[in-house]
Structure 1
Amino acid sequence: MTDDDVFAAVRRLADAGLYLDRIRGLDGVDLDGDEHDLEEWPEGVFRRIYRRGTPRYETALANGWLAVLPPLRPAPPELVEELEEKARRRFPPLLRRLYLEIGNGGFGPGNGLISLTSRQTAVRRDRSSFGTDRPRIARVLCYWPAGGTTELDLLDGQIWGTTAYRTPTGVPQSFRQGLTLAAWLSRWLDCRLLPPLLVQDGSRWRPGTEAEEREAWQERERQRAEDYYHPPVYDEEST
């Protein structure tokens, strides 16, 4: 997908109020099965949390069961320019358009692109610790619900990940993923984007493939469901 294609597709999701991976359903609707994906608030009022890209989400979308998200507000141009001045580097054109024409964060992968007014939005100059020793200018794009981050290198427009999965002490968790911003968002639009993953390959560690990311994510989801239905039992005498 080109930058224009990606922007148009994100715009359609934003206009429809379906711009995050997890969308609440209507109160009291479609509550059977998969209890670990139910939310209760206030007490006694239940709703389902739908995950974009799943068959259940598509059914909910077709039946009008999704509670659409509120409209987004674009970032002020002066805010974007201020951050670019601090970084001494312009944002990639696609990222600028997303913030200036769609919203000041809160949409997209993970927990959504972070707001430009967030304290965590600062651009930092650092040195990569995975496979290269060149300087980089990194800006956090999003955080993932189960941990981990995705960053954009403003020097060359490449995506970097920080894994939330456990790795041995001494193994750097930050790594280049070989994706541009447009390619990263294209995966998200196709419901193929998952949290960054490092995989041990012989004596070295490398970024996970899409298939490996999917397998790790599915295992985490199975464990989450198992913990919900069969919570750990603690010996009262040991507590």
Structure 2
Amino acid sequence: MAEVPTIRLATREDVGEILSMIKELAEFEHALDKVEATESSLLQTLAFAPSRHRHHHEHHHDKDNSTSTNSKQDSHAHNSLTPSDAPLSGSAHNPPHQNSGYAKTLLLQDPSTAEVAGMALFYHTYSTWQARPGIYLEDLFIRTAHRRKGYATMLLQELARETERIGGGRLEWSCLKWNQNALDFYEGEKVGARQLEEWTGLRVEREELDKLGKAGWGRYRRM
């Protein structure tokens, strides 16, 4: 049986790879000078699965000390990473498995090299009309050497499954108007996305964001 790619939720050890791909994508979009992210800021703002090294250590520690007769079941439990639909924060019934963060990253590893070939960085949204959550794909990136292998489709398929796992109603993202190759791919049969012609994206950032926030001081009370 041929080896297949692996898709997993990123751990803190992957932050260097994530930053590298953010910069590679920004360079492709002719906006590398706009990247302000650092490994430190990503570690503070992204959610990560438990460390793979920690799971490996715990598995060997338990293997040496456990008296369980079901070693296969124990091995699976200790080596399984937290699924991508695990809660970002814990509760009495669901202990926390991940650090609190604003977005998650799926990484795809090439089976022949074990290299990280691409990523899908996403976060949860909400629709008032549907009264259901959704997923917004912030960055989808496949490294040049690994393109034309179907990896982008695989990441989108996994995000579609993730959306359904959380009971979500939609998966959405933005695409640069000049990137016709990407638009053709997204609107093709494999993905089936459609452009939202009736909507226009709006954004407030930097000086305008600061000005907008300060303008409200004293005009209302925040409870």
Same fold (TM over 0.5): no
TM-score (norm 2): 0.31
Greater percentage in strand: 1
TM-score (norm 1): 0.29
